[in-house]
Chain A
Amino acid sequence: MAAQNKVDNESSEEMPADTANDPSAEQKERLIAAVKKEVKQLMEEAVTRKFVHEESGGVTALCGAVEACLGQGLRRRALGLFKTSSTTALLHKIAKHCPEAALVSARVLAAEGAPATRSASGVERRPSMPRPPLCKRGSGSLLSQAPPQSRYLWIRIALFERQLAKIIEHLVTNATRYYERDALVADPDYGSILSSLLVGPCALEYSKAKAPACFWSDPPADELVQRHRMSAGTTTPPSVRRPILNFKRSLNASSDDSSSASTVTGKTGTSSAKDYVESLHQNSTATLLYGKNNVKVQPKDVEEPMPGYLSLHQTAAGLVIKWTPNQLMNGYAESESIDKSLLRCHLVHASACPNKCVLCSVAPCTVYRQRCSGPLCIDCVYWAMSLQVCVWEVVYVHVHRSQASDALILVGQDGVQRPPIHFPKGGHLLSFLSNLETGLLPHGQLDPPLWSQRGTGKVFGRSKGRRRPMPSLCETSETEEVEWDEAAGDYVFRIVNNAIADREAMRHSLLERAVQSPPRTPRRPLASTSTTSSDSSTMSVDCPPSAGINGMPPPTPVQHQPVEQSASIELVCSTMRRQIISRAFYGWLAYCRHLSTVRTHLSGLVHPNIVSGEGAECGLTEAVWRALTDARGAVADRAEVYRRVYYGGVHHHIRREVWPYLLNYYQFGSTAEERAEQDAACRRQYETTMSEWLCVEAIVRQRDREATAASIARLTEQAGKLQPTDSTDAGEVFEDDCSVISDNPPIVSPEPSDTEQKKVDTKPVLSRAPSIDEIDNIEMDADEKDNMKVNGETDSGDTRVDSDTEVHIKSIVDNPDMRRESIAEIKRLAEGIVQKGDGRGLLCSVDSANVNLNGNDARSSLDESQPQQQHTSVIITNPSVDLAAGSPASGGTTATVSPSRSPLGVVREESQSAGASFDTLEPTNDQRPETRSNCVSPASSNGGVYSNELVESFALNLHRIEKDVQRCDRNYPFFTDENLDKLRNIMCTYVWEHLEAGYMQGMCDLAAPLLVTMRDEAAAHALFARLMRRAMDNFPSGQAMDAHFADMRSLIQILDCELYELMHAHGDYTHFYFCYRWFLLDFKRELLYQDVFAAWELIWAARHVASEHMVLFIALALLETYRDVILANTMDFTDIIKFFNEMAERHDASAVLSLARDLVLQVQTLIENK
């Protein structure tokens, strides 16, 4: 912004002062300032990036500014003949007088006419929106948002062709003809300023290519996709190397039939013109036998013979004579900058023209003439003039020799004469004929033979005057050459095919040769010697007269008789055939080996047997599901279920029923009652586990509060006074904090710490249940562990004591908070116990608690009497109360989960009543022996004894879980606080069960869809646990991710080597890290929820139907869907990361999934076809 303002200021300063009076001058000033600004920005961009992308916003903005200038004061009447008053019309108008404008005008027409898709979307719109110039000024930033291709087409093209400045100069010079007198362009100052401003941008280099330097400001992913769809018609199809593995084009083509149809025609048109140019050279399908420039031909309707390039090609179908006017040849090769674009126009035009006969052969140029009107017609005519004659269609070759030149006329089977071909003097005609003759061999010949009895000295020219001479020729020597040159006369040769059958055979063999290994035809090396010059840029192929242009390996001189000749050629042919076959065989062998390697590599990825998707497209609907379920509620036909799910997914209403099967939680064939039992057992299990970690959670909460209190206290302290402690080193600062949390264990020493002693130590909390102490003592004595810790309440006291020893000043401040905390806690506990006490007969504990409470109260009141600390405690207390209210641990403490939180309370009651003793819970503990101590008192759950590591480890996980649960899918209305709580419980339960692995980011994302579907916490947890059996390996601790990447590598390599090469070449991201999230979360973040369900079902069902690694194929399908976009933009690692991150949740999931199935099938077929 700053830069822009600066420019504005500058420009206004430059303006003459008197213009301010004139309103139009002000407008002009603004217009020119806009141009200046855009020019400056564009130049800046060019400097920082070396070159500018054609579609960059700066270009569009500049074009817009220029258009505004040109449109201002444009005389309407000047363009009267045109329908619109746009500046494009102006361009076409001045094209007559200004060569630069003519060029651009031609290009604009070509661009407008070219691809059908584009004209539909962009260009047609242009005339319909005439732009009042007033609206345009100063709106550069707005304009840049328009579709880049369609707007300001001619200005854009003129800019890229570097003609814009000249065109505008022309306009300025002739302004009176087109502009009102007060127009900007007509203004002597502004006009020249405008044209000179644009000189700079016209000198820049514009690039269509995705240059590495301009990646970062490029359009977002969806725009890339859209742009690709629009321009799909103009890109040439990428070559496919291995026919067997031929990969179908991406989805965007198939999804839009109409556009793909037009795409195809566009492609063939374009490519045929391109092919034509290529066919003039030595290439894989045709051998160049002869080439000569400046051969004149007088086409129909042309007064004078025109020079052009004559060439003789050996193709699979036979010999072809081609002549191309110099206008086309030079346009292609000589002055690249301008004429190349001209040729491009031709090509585009030719391709756009529905009648392609020009390129076919016999060339009724009139057709082109009639169809095309406008300036491009001239170029069409050139194309129409070019000759392309298949020699087999020619019967007679007439040779007219005169002093001036040698002419050659081809007469076809139908008696039609081609335009005469005039060779320059100097034996060119002779060498052409000799090449023609050798080219006709072995199956055809010239009658009479041009070459016979070599070296006998007989000369072509001697038989002059005869209608059908018997010309013969010796090697060109000086004298004879002269003689030949001097000779004049007419000769007729007949082109003879030896036999129809022979010819067929030859065609066949040639065809074979051409198809099997075209580049290896022995002809080529020799022939290329003569054609190297044709590959050079000048295109002037001047062949040495009798050098081995024919390229037949054993040159003709050895042969003396025609019969002998053909025999030896037979020999040559058979040798060639053998070579070809052997080469082909070895190629094939190598390919087979490659395929077998591939097969072994890939066979593990898919199932060998292909399951048909017949009738399964609609998926598993409710009706089908009911039909599959028998009277007892059992579903037996698992194969059918899997098959239907694989091909069509599950109907949403029955997902809750089907998913447990898919995740292998329910067994197929199980009855409804069995499943109900299973559910109940699972729920019990879940609740038990949950009650365990809830206890620990309570401890963790308590510690957190203490830690927070400590931190805040420290802060307050620091804020209040600058203590020497503040200057402690940073490392020590950390240590201090740690001490608050973790130095507890040594304090909770294994000493027989009875209640009295603790009370003396002012540890008020612990003693609520004396039984715990006893247990502790027993426990600790037995194990002699000194890292055992009692419970949360104990900690608070401990901490304080601990910190007493270390931070003296702090302890005063800290204590009240903690004590207060613990008091609140105890109060609640006590209440809980009192309430339940009756039922459980644990009255003694209540008593002791009361005792303690009294003591605490006294102490706390003492603390509160100190006014200084009140401030701190207020802060802490509030959150603690909140937490307590929501925390089941504090309320129900032991085993009881508060009903508000989950529906588990009822069951819990049962277990409580079953035995308020250690025995009940001990079995549960035994299941997980290492993670916790085997002694938990149900009566005073907080009295559970857990190792410090365990608590800390769970605390760490708990915090992480809470952070992630809060952030999980909060944009979805489903995830209310209540449901997030469920999610949290699932996570915690799972992590509690797998504490050694712990929580890892991403687990939440995996559990969320399960919860959304199942709604029920326990069921979702059960499914999640099943899901994690496979998914666990994807997380950093497992190996699966690397395996996925490796598999992706080989799959891409085989199925789409072109894409692979791109990935390899551009920073080599074949490590596939950009797929990381895909695999880790099973595409959960890539797709919308509805689609995630479908994708997951596909993955689960595929294990039993097609592939254990369906994720790979979905990933592949995602890549293949956008392969053309990726290729067209030559994306590198960062691009592809950005692209897919931006495309997340925007994919067409059903298309991707069905492509994934296709890919599986493709690999299966590949493996099957041994």
Chain B
Amino acid sequence: MSSRKKVLLKVIILGDSGVGKTSLMNQFVNKKFSNQYKATIGADFLTKEVIVDDRIVTMQIWDTAGQERFQSLGVAFYRGADCCVLVFDVTAPNTFKSLESWRDEFLIQASPRDPDNFPFVILGNKVDLDNRAVSAKRAQQWCQSKNDIPYFETSAKEAVNVELAFQTIARNALAQETEAELYNEFPDQIKLNANDNGRNRDGDNCAC
């Protein structure tokens, strides 16, 4: 039963402001690109169901504010994350440089159970632009040096590699999740109570 229970994967997207976090999320979930997005304030999320190895998995993708100063709020949103997506802009070297600190910050704030093996994915976004300044090789090298983080070059605008990247994200997160089940011995017990509550309320409210 536990292996067939619903799977919700919480994915956090991090990266400097303006690297295209919101666009990537919307491209993946809604299959559309807009140049109307505003700077994200606070946090938002979208959900999408994907099928990974014949399992239906719900991805809950959290889009956060890019300015590092707002990360103090992060704890509330990072909690229980299954995967973290770090995004940089291939035309802006600085956004690539700050990946390291994003990664560290996330590990501190989310404090996952097994920080060494926590699944990250790096996305180099905006590859559709001409004025590229961070080479794929360089990014690749960095990813290799960090425990072989998967790296994708994406374009949210032209939907390049977005699907593939999020499939990988889901798969890696799911792998992590399955491992986590070994640690978590009583996941259903808590759920049972939640269900009971729900049902009681149902009984109270329902008058038809």
Contact = CB atoms under 8 A, between A and B. Distances in A.
B208 A1036 contact: no
B60 A1081 contact: no
A1036 B69 contact: yes
Interface string A726-737: 100111011001
Given A274-B207, A715-B133, A729-B145, A1134 B36 contact: no
Given A726-B137, A967-B39, A50 B5 contact: yes
A733 B201 CA distance: 59
B43 A1137 contact: yes
Given A217-B58, A733-B138, A971 B36 contact: yes
A963 B17 contact: yes
B184 interface: no
Given A217-B58, A236-B204, A730 B141 contact: yes
Interface residues of B, number: 58
Interface stretch (A28-36, A208-216, A755-763): A208-216
Interface in A687-717: 707-708, 711-712, 714-715
A1005 B38 CA distance: 9
Interface string B130-164: 01111101100110010000000000000000000
A351 B208 CA distance: 10
Contact of B70 (A47, A212, A1036, A1134): A1036
A774 to B, nearest CB: 36
A918 interface: no
Interface in B76-109: 76-77, 93, 97
Q: Is the interface of B mostly helix, strand, loop or mixed?
A: mixed
A707 B97 CA distance: 14
Q: Which of A726, A1065, A1076 has the most CB of B within 10 A?
A: A1076
B193 to A, nearest CB: 10
A213 B60 CA distance: 13
Contact of A210 (B47, B70, B198, B207): B198
B205 A968 contact: no
Given A236-B205, A1137-B43, A733 B142 contact: yes
A1077 B35 CA distance: 21
Contacts of A110: 208
Contacts of B42: 1073-1074, 1076-1077, 1080
B65 interface: yes
B38 A708 contact: no
Nearest to A960: B17
Contacts of A1085: 38, 41
Contacts of A351: 207
A1138 interface: yes
A216 B8 contact: yes
A1075 to B, nearest CB: 9
A1134 B133 contact: no
B72 interface: yes
A851 interface: no
Contacts of B37: 967
Interface in A120-174: none
A212 B18 contact: no
A210 B39 CA distance: 32
A111 interface: yes
B38 A212 contact: no
A577 interface: no
Contacts of A1037: 69
Contacts of B55: 48
A1098 to B, nearest CB: 21
Contacts of A213: 6, 191
Nearest to A728: B141
Given A50-B5, A1076-B41, A1137-B44, A970 B36 contact: yes
A235 interface: yes
A707 B93 contact: yes
B41 A963 contact: no
B189 interface: no
A245 interface: no
B113 interface: no
A1102 interface: no
Nearest to B67: A1001
A712 B131 contact: yes
B149 to A, nearest CB: 11
A970 B6 contact: no
Contact of B58 (A210, A216, A1074): A216
A209 B202 contact: yes
B208 A111 contact: yes
B56 interface: yes
A1000 interface: yes
A189 B60 CA distance: 44
A209 B201 contact: yes
A1125 interface: no
B18 A963 contact: yes
Nearest to B194: A212
Contacts of B195: 50, 211-212
Nearest to A211: B198
A712 B207 contact: no
Contacts of B93: 707, 711, 737
A44 B8 CA distance: 16
B182 interface: no
B73 interface: yes
Nearest to A962: B18
B191 A212 contact: yes
A1065 B197 contact: yes
Contacts of B77: 1073
Nearest to B200: A209
B45 A1134 contact: yes
Given A234-B207, A729-B145, A212 B198 contact: yes
B31 interface: no
A351 B207 CA distance: 10
B97 A737 contact: yes
Nearest to B71: A1036
Contacts of A114: 208
Contacts of B38: 967-969, 1005, 1085
B135 A718 contact: yes
Interface in A211-231: 211-213, 216-217
A39 to B, nearest CB: 16
A1111 interface: no
A49 interface: yes
B199 interface: yes
B208 A348 contact: yes
A737 B97 CA distance: 9
B41 A1002 contact: yes
Nearest to B198: A209
Interface in A502-516: none
Contacts of B8: 216
Nearest to A266: B207
Contacts of A210: 198
B104 to A, nearest CB: 14
Contacts of B66: 1001
Interface of B: 4-8, 17-18, 35-39, 41-45, 47, 49, 51, 55-56, 58, 60, 65-67, 69-70, 72-73, 76-77, 93, 97, 131-135, 137-138, 141-142, 145, 191, 194-195, 197-199, 201-202, 204-208
7 contacts: A729-B141, A968-B39, A1000-B70, A1005-B38, A1077-B42, A1134-B60, A1137-B45
Q: A-B pairs with the 7 shortest C-beta distances?
A: A711-B133, A730-B142, A209-B198, A963-B18, A209-B202, A1077-B42, A216-B47
Interface of A: 2-3, 44, 47-50, 110-111, 114-115, 207-213, 216-217, 234-236, 270-271, 274, 344, 347-348, 351, 707-708, 711-712, 714-715, 718-719, 726, 729-731, 733-734, 737-738, 875, 879, 960, 963-964, 967-971, 1000-1002, 1004-1005, 1035-1037, 1065, 1071, 1073-1074, 1076-1077, 1080-1081, 1085, 1128, 1130, 1133-1134, 1137-1138, 1141
Given A217-B58, A963-B17, A1076-B73, 8 more contacts: A211-B194, A211-B198, A712-B131, A712-B133, A737-B93, A960-B17, A1001-B17, A1076-B43
